[in-house]
Structure 1
Amino acid sequence: MSLPSSLRMSSTVALAAGLVVTAFAPGVQAVPALPDAHAPAAVTTALAAPDLSLTNVKAHLTQFSKIAADNGGNRAHGRPGHKASVDYVKAKLDAAGFTTTVQQFTSNGATGYNLIADWPGGSPDQVLFAGAHLDSVTEGAGINDNGSGSAAVLETALAVSRAQYKPAKHLRFAWWGAEELGLVGSKHYVNNLPTTERSKIKGYLNFDMIGSPNPGYFVYDDDPVIEKTFKDYFAGLGIQTEIETEGDGRSDHAPFKSAGIPVGGLFTGASSKKTAAQAQKWGGTSGQSFDRCYHSSCDTTANIDDTALDRNSDAAAHAVWTLSAGTTAPPAGTVFENTADVAVPDNGAAVTSAVDVSGRTGNAPAALKVGVDIVHTYRGDLVVDLVAPDGTAYRLKDRSGTDSADDVRTTYTVDASGETANGTWKLKVQDTSAQDTGYIDAFRLTF
């Protein structure tokens, strides 16, 4: 992890993906507004990620340690240990069937290297990216910072190869250079990426210091879908997470975030001290730094908590599998619809039809399309509202004693930009006068 910085950038771009496979109530479905005539009849659901071998991850750390020892004690930018680290990772990926590219840049008068690895297949317009910085500081071997993240990303990539995984999205992995000098390598990559190529990256996952010896379990507070993916994984292990604040903006996700790309990641702590409450929650020693050897010569293979490294490595693989499978978010223009009939009592209480919206990030559209099909013998009696997940009601139609026509079959436009997109949305209908009957035939929202 690089030296402290004041970087703090807003994330406004949602994580996009292919068609979502979601369980809805009977009569409720999500379908793409513009289906692909060449798409397969069935959508492949996400496969479970493999349990990464801690032994394999630690074997990479041992190699990084040996490389440092053979090259002046570090793997820093412009030093032979960094280039040797790049060569080690590249050889593993080349043998596993990845297409690798070494990108050169110059910083402080020395040549730096980014290693990029692409796994064949997946949609070229939907790229899921995972990365970690491969350089250390000059003071030491940098085994936790950031051999740990580099090893986890490498082993995740190798697991993709072993499984011959065929995700919906295209998978790309990276090991950045000169992070410790101010995110130089990742900035160089993002800044030199054409706008069209940036737009294809639907998520970047960053792993920097994930094996701290007095660990915490921190999740980046950035893209909500990525954040939830990590939080749900740890919740399944019974581990409470906290939002990562110590290193916010100080690692290689920052250039991606600045470019409007959804980001997320994991962190186990650096020089900040663990509180008593955190020690009770996670174990370890309160009042002591998460990593006492941060940016020091003692950041060796002895400076790793195996349990934290194992859990975070598995979380990395879980996120790659989950977010690349095409089950994260429906495409833009997806129609969430409920076609189940709901009787509207004559001059009675209001009734509702509901749709569950999921897989979206951020707020609902400013021009949310609300499709309403109500069969009724006197529509002037009807009062119709759209009810947001938080209970806010948006009036679509008032009662009108002069509107004697049958049925309500129309599409309303609602500014719902102040509402969270995900959740249960309801169409509320009430018949306010006697002698006419009807039912809700269908209710749909277009996101």
Structure 2
Amino acid sequence: MKLSVPGVRRISAIPGIPAISARVALPVGLALAGLVAATAPSATAAPVTSLRPVQSASAAVLAAPDIPLANVKAHLTQFSSIAAANGGNRAHGRAGYLASVNYVKGKLDAAGFTTTVQQFTSSGATGYNLIADWPGGDPNQVLMSGSHLDSVTSGAGINDNGSGSAAILETALAVSRAQLQPAKHLRFAWWGAEELGLVGSRYYVNNLPTADRAKISGYLNFDMIGSPNAGYFVYDDDPTIEQTFKDYYAGLGVSTEIETEGDGRSDHAPFKNVGVPVGGLFSGADYIKTAAQAQKWGGTSGQAFDRCYHSSCDSTANINDTALDRNSDAVAHAVWTLSAASVPPPTGTVYENLTDVTIPDNGAAVTSSVTVSGRTGGAPLVRVDVDIKHTWRGDVVIDLVGPSGTAYRLKNSSSSDSADNVIATYTVNTPTETANGVWRLRVQDVAAQDTGYINSWRLTF
């Protein structure tokens, strides 16, 4: 995160790059801990080749994968090694910054992204922005996520901002692993010279043709998301983006606050200044954590969120793993949700349960099961079609529970979603599950007065 804003000398114009326009309405999350499942009648569902059609949803929901913390931290280790080999930092104009660009670019190129390195000049040195585009999606609707990749000269910059850079890199790689087919075009960016005054992101925005700016409906910024004395701050600039992040954390039972410490001090500012809707996450820098915040989030009151902010001790030891893990998953959640990823037609073997299961009003969770047998190997990606009848679908929370007992959240509750029924399709990454075994749809009504039942559901491999 930057401190000052010196001028920038532009050396060339860049060609227009497509951007975004449509917004997505999102579910509102609610924390649910310790669900007690009341097991309802289950069908031992044999594979079926002729399916009873499930009503198609107006908008299918594609669940984001879990972003492995180990992978994110492996990128941080690489950034640390790069800094150590290049004078102890990854600052603008230094060899460590260009080596960082090359590391990220190599990962993205291998994953099937189209990458572009954009050059600019600041303080007499050449700077670089790295832009990565995922094939497909509407070229007139681009969802963009960005982080600054440079550090200050005094240290390796692992929290500021290796944390954001590593999280969006691993999210981009998750897009590739899932072969995501979003409705919107996805673009990721790693900015140069942020620490000198948002230089790289300003250069990008200022050289983007007006017509292309008008296409951008969302820029997501991630600057310092692993602070050791972490807070959970959400930008309040665009209501839809803000609510997306709030919903995610509500689903974890984690309270958030509006981000004020770094408002206007990071790379979302150039986008916001030209009318692009922006949002993002932040875990705190040199402001002091209050007693109320320590009560809410843990950590130590009376200390800075990051005591190593802009210092040589901003190393791999300067990371809160819990905050980095939660925030990385929130990045993926926002990318998957806001890109309105399309769900392909079901293919492969389908297992279906048609038995009605009553959902108690404001009561314990119930399950409906299918038993899968005769298959070999794992189930890294499954499709779940759900048909639930309910008079206020906002009351309903849905999980898929794999044979291992791991629960995968499909839908959170929403106090404002008063429509009837949940008829939707979810595609879920389940990389550690075996195909064979009992799979359960777990449903709970978490508010009083409205009732419903599981009408049917089906699982497709």
If the length of structure 1 is used for normalisation, what is the TM-score?
A: 0.66
**Unmatched runs of 5 consecutive residues or more in structure 2:** 6-19, 28-55, 343-391, 393-415, 419-461
Give 1:307's aligned residue.
322
1:259 & 1:141 partners in 2: Cα distance?
A: 32
Give 1:261's aligned residue.
276
**Selected match of 1:287 from 298, 302, 317:** 302
1:143 & 1:2 partners in 2: Cα distance?
A: 15
| 1:121 counterpart SS class | coil
Give 2:91's aligned residue.
76
Deviation at 1:202, TM superposition (A): 1.1
| Structure-to-structure mapping, 1:143-222, within 5 angstroms | 143-222=158-237
**Selected match of 1:112 from 127, 134, 143:** 127
| Structure-to-structure mapping, 1:3-402, within 5 angstroms | 3=3, 16-17=21-22, 44-325=59-340
2:317 & 2:87 partners in 1: Cα distance?
A: 19
| 1:106 counterpart SS class | strand
Q: Are the counterparts in 1 of residues 24 and 340 from structure 2 also a CA contact under 8 Å?
A: no
Residues 55-91 of structure 1 deviation map (CA, whole Å, 9 limit, x = unaligned): 0000000000000000000000000000000000000
Residues 294-334 of structure 1 deviation map (CA, whole Å, 9 limit, x = unaligned): 0000000000000000000000000000000169xxxxxxx
Deviation at 1:4, TM superposition (A): 5.8
Residues 114-169 of structure 1 deviation map (CA, whole Å, 9 limit, x = unaligned): 00000000001111000000000000000000000000000000000000000000
Closer, same or farther: CA 224–4 of 1 in aligned 2, 3 Å = farther
| 1:111 counterpart SS class | strand
Percent of counterpart pairs with the same letter?
79
Which amino acid letter does the alignment assign opposite residue 198 of structure 2?
A: L
2:196 & 2:4 partners in 1: Cα distance?
A: 11
Where relative contact order (Cα < 8 A, 6+ residues apart) is larger, the structure is 2
Deviation at 1:45, TM superposition (A): 1.4
Q: Are the counterparts in 1 of residues 248 and 330 from structure 2 also a CA contact under 8 Å?
A: yes
Deviation at 1:18, TM superposition (A): 6.8
RMSD: 2.2
Closer, same or farther: CA 19–287 of 1 in aligned 2, 3 Å = closer
Q: Are the counterparts in 2 of residues 76 and 138 from structure 1 also a CA contact under 8 Å?
A: yes
Q: Are the counterparts in 1 of residues 141 and 217 from structure 2 also a CA contact under 8 Å?
A: yes
Deviation at 1:196, TM superposition (A): 1.1
> Matched residue pairs, number?
306
Q: Are the counterparts in 2 of residues 17 and 326 from structure 1 also a CA contact under 8 Å?
A: no
Deviation at 1:46, TM superposition (A): 2.5
Structure index of larger Rg: 1
Which amino acid letter does the alignment assign opposite residue 268 of structure 1?
A: S
